[in-house]
Amino acid sequence: MTQHDFKPLRLHVPEPTGRPGYPTDFSYLHLAPAGAAPRPPIQARASDTADLAASLVRVLDDEHRAVGPWAPQLDPERLRAGLRAMLVTRIFDARMLIAQRQKKLSFYMQCLGEEAIAVAHSMALRDGDMCFPSYRQQGLLIAHGVPLVEMICQLLSNEADPLKGRQLPVMYSRKRSGFFSISGNLATQFVQAVGWAMASAIKGDTKIASGWIGDGSTAEPDFHNALTFAHVYRAPVILNVVNNQWAISTFQAIAGGERATFASRGVGAGIASLRVDGNDFLAVFAASQWAAERARHNLGPTLIEWVTYRAGAHSTSDDPSKYRPADDWQRFPLGDPVARLERHLEGLGEWSAGQGEQLRKEIEAEVIAAQKEAERHGTLLDGRVPPADSMFEDVYAQMPAHLRRQREQSRSES
Amino acid sequence: MTMIQALRSAMDLMLERDPNVVVYGEDVGYFGGVFRVTEGLQAKHGRTRVFDAPISEGGIVGTAIGMAAYGLRPVVEIQFADYSYPAYDQIVSEAARLRHRSAGDFTAPITIRMPCGGGIYGGQTHSQSPEVLYTHVCGLRTVMPSNPYDAKGLLISAIECEDPVIFLEPKRLYNGPFDGHHDRPVVPWSKHPRGEVPEGYYTVPLESAAVQRPGSDLTVLAYGTMVYVAEAAAADTGIDAEIIDLRSLWPLDLDTIVESVKKTGRCVVVHEATRTSGFGAELVALVQEHCFYHLEAPIERVTGWDTPYPHAQEWAYFPGPKRVGAAMRRAMES
């Protein structure tokens, strides 16, 4: 009887090692020591990067010194600028979290613990390049010097909201800062970034695109569409996968991260790929610069998996204590990107605890002042939002007859 | 020109006039498309303007949106409308809403061409008419020509339009008009007045319907292949039907429709697509809302059945002149 030749099959359902009350075993991350990963020339082929896609590019060692071939030669002034942008991002997030709890805004999403990725990446891009972010790259806007008042007005959906109250908070759009309109639909922007890069190549331009996606969203078809098109047309694009280990409550193993890195998908698709310590500001800058140089030299796309940890709740509607250990971030082996850069600067004699304290106070005051100014244009609490009439605009370039009729009806019935 | 040549002529012209126009899709480049609509365009305009794409509808439309955000004007092809569903997220969630959600910061002036419709023994996945999936989406324009002249003029308008346009091409009409009398020989476009197509630039405006056949007994609202089926039904029944070819399905030309139904007092809506929640339901509702006191009979609908498009039962499914004629008679009798 052949049916007895085999044991019954079993469905494998991945589980995180840590759950509330049980600590996570982070050995699954397969970390490499700082400085160990080689830095290939930007002409590297996809197959040359197979080892890098399985390893980890790190610059800052346990003593916070910059070591190895990836150490970028960034002067302390630029490092301090990066530190400042990271701190603005973190303090901004914390203030907006409070504002959400006070019901001044309906919803918010922090990027706590992931600040280095967007900020350092932004510093490796040039004016005119275009990012296609997900909802957790507010650091790109802040590093670009976008006025906090404008960002808060979007969050408040108030009378000065540049998106006229049409979008959920954090779904920013700012073309002139190289920041594409955020959509709630996951992964869609990843393939759009490739199309933008193809357009730049079609026109013989020198601008590049940078696409963003989380670990969970790599399971969406547009992740694969993006890799295929980027590879086929050698599009000048950087494909960023921010692996923060969690997609809401779902551990990255359920997205396909068990026994295979997300960077390895890039190699499989014929794209040069790196796996990088996302909490190491210097490594993020160096890897981003490497990928940007490749793209600019028409050498094709690069995929980068940023290994980090989603330190905060998924959103203000989420309670992570229901599905993961409360002290997980403290135990995450790659630490806190802000603290690591501060220790590095201190080691160089370019920073002190006093300066850190002073800077934090300064930023706190800046964010509070911006919030006050933004609230002068209204909040959800006082109902000073863009007029109802304006919702009929921008559906089409010219308002068609049926929308003019509906606008009339809306006026007469309100 | 055939409809194929007219569509090709529109793209050829726009590739020449606007350096931001690019054309791509599956088999669209070297080979010139499975229906020959893009034949010769790559050889003439080069591989970076007209090119083959991977078999990935989501990728094709997704990259087009990114190109549009850069400033290009992509004209992309989905090989069959039946295969547009993998691109639905990009079309509905992205192309259609980009202008609104970004308050005009980014726009998506893209044209998505899709051969559609049945009457060709195409079976389940080569015959569908999914127009209602697009007319229902705010921010999209849905267009369907019924003859070579309109096909060229409407496609140029679509490419020049700042809004995303779903451009549905009834493949049954590619080589000649078809009135549903499948037992009779098909006449080529060269023997039809609407096959006369100027070589140069012209447009047929969006949101404008055409009165295909003036009449006084009743109004037929149709588009695509059904325009000719309605004509045949009018001839077969002797009913003096006013046949309106909508051309732009949404946003549409309401004035032409309302004017006609107020004149005739009767209305028959005809489409190939399945009935329930089909685009006909919206047309019936519009006529009811705007012409109620002028109606002398219930509004009739002749559509495909609420079944997947069959293969062997092609002519039992396809709403031919017999079924349309019967609906016209019912409308006249009440």
What are the tens digits of pLDDT across the range B213-268?
A: 999 999 999 999 999 999 999 999 999 999 999 999 999 999 999 999 999 999 99
A401–B103 C-beta distance less than 8 A: no
Nearest of A96, A94, A114, A129 to residue A276 by alpha carbon: A114
Strands (E), A111-254: 130-132, 209-214, 237-243, 246-247, 250-251
- Chain A residue with minimum CA distance to B92: A185
* For residue A131, pLDDT beyond 70: yes
**pLDDT tens per residue across span A293-306:** 999 999 999 999 99
* For residue A2, pLDDT beyond 70: no
pTM of the model: 0.98
**pLDDT tens per residue across span A30-57:** 999 999 999 999 999 999 999 999 999 9
Torsion, Cα A285 A286 A292 A296, to 10 degrees, reads 130
CB pairs under 8 A between A and B: 141
B56–A181 C-beta distance less than 8 A: no
Please enumerate in sequence order all residues whose Cβ is within 8 A of that of A265, keeping only pairs 6 or more positions apart, or say none: A218, A223, A227, A273, A303
pLDDT (0 to 100) of residue A332: 98
**pLDDT tens per residue across span B256-304:** 999 999 999 999 999 999 999 999 999 999 999 999 999 999 999 999 9
Torsion, Cα A352 A356 A361 A365, to 10 degrees, reads 130
B86–A221 C-beta distance less than 8 A: yes
Torsion, Cα B168 B170 B176 B177, to 10 degrees, reads -110
Is ipTM strictly over 0.95? yes
Q: Angle at which helices A221-232 and A188-202 pack, to 10 degrees?
A: 20
Q: Tell me whether A55 touches chain B (CB under 8 Å).
A: no
pLDDT classification of A368: cutoffs 50, 70, 90: very high
Sign of the dihedral through C-alpha A103, A108, A112, A117? negative
* For residue A1, pLDDT beyond 60: no
* For residue A3, pLDDT beyond 70: no
Residues linked to residue A240 through DSSP beta bridges, in sequence order: A212, A304
CA–CA separation, B319 vs B305, rounded Å? Answer: 9
Nearest of B274, B281, B179, B261 to residue B220 by alpha carbon: B261
Neighbours of A248 (CB within 10 A): 13
Q: Tell me whether B66 touches chain A (CB under 8 Å).
A: yes
Q: Tell me whether B258 touches chain A (CB under 8 Å).
A: no
How close A58 comes to chain B (CA, Å)? 32
- Chain B residue with minimum CA distance to A210: B66
Please enumerate in sequence order all residues whose Cβ is within 8 A of that of A235, keeping only pairs 6 or more positions apart, or say none: A194, A197, A198, A201, A209, A229, A300, A301
CA–CA separation, A37 vs A30, rounded Å? Answer: 13
The runs of H, that is alpha helices, within A300-400 are: 328-331, 337-347, 353-375
Tokens of A384: 């000073």
Q: Tell me whether B22 touches chain A (CB under 8 Å).
A: yes
Distances A111 to A58, A314, A357, B67, B310 between C-alpha atoms, Å? 21, 9, 21, 29, 52
B54–A173 C-beta distance less than 8 A: no
pLDDT (0 to 100) of residue A380: 85
Nearest of A307, A306, A302 to residue A41 by alpha carbon: A302
3-state secondary structure B140-152: CEEECCCCHHHHH
Q: Looking up tokens 């010194």, which residue turns up?
A: A65
CB B73 within 8 A of CB B11: no
Give contacts of B103 with chain A, Cβ < 8 Å.
162-164, 166, 173, 394
pLDDT (0 to 100) of residue A291: 98
Q: Tell me whether B106 touches chain A (CB under 8 Å).
A: yes
Q: Looking up tokens 């007045």, which residue turns up?
A: B193
What one-letter code names the amino acid at B74?
Answer: P
* Residue B126 falls in the annotated catalytic set: yes
How close A64 comes to chain B (CA, Å)? 40
Supply the DSSP symbol for A250. Answer: E
pLDDT classification of A4: cutoffs 50, 70, 90: confident
Mutate to test the interface with A, among B24, B47, B63 (most CBs of A within 10 A): B63
CA–CA separation, B242 vs B234, rounded Å? Answer: 9
Q: What is the CA radius of gyration of chain B?
A: 19
- Averages of pLDDT over each 10 residues, chain B, 334 residues: 98 98 98 98 98 98 98 98 98 98 98 97 96 98 98 98 98 97 94 95 98 98 98 98 98 98 98 98 98 98 98 98 98 93
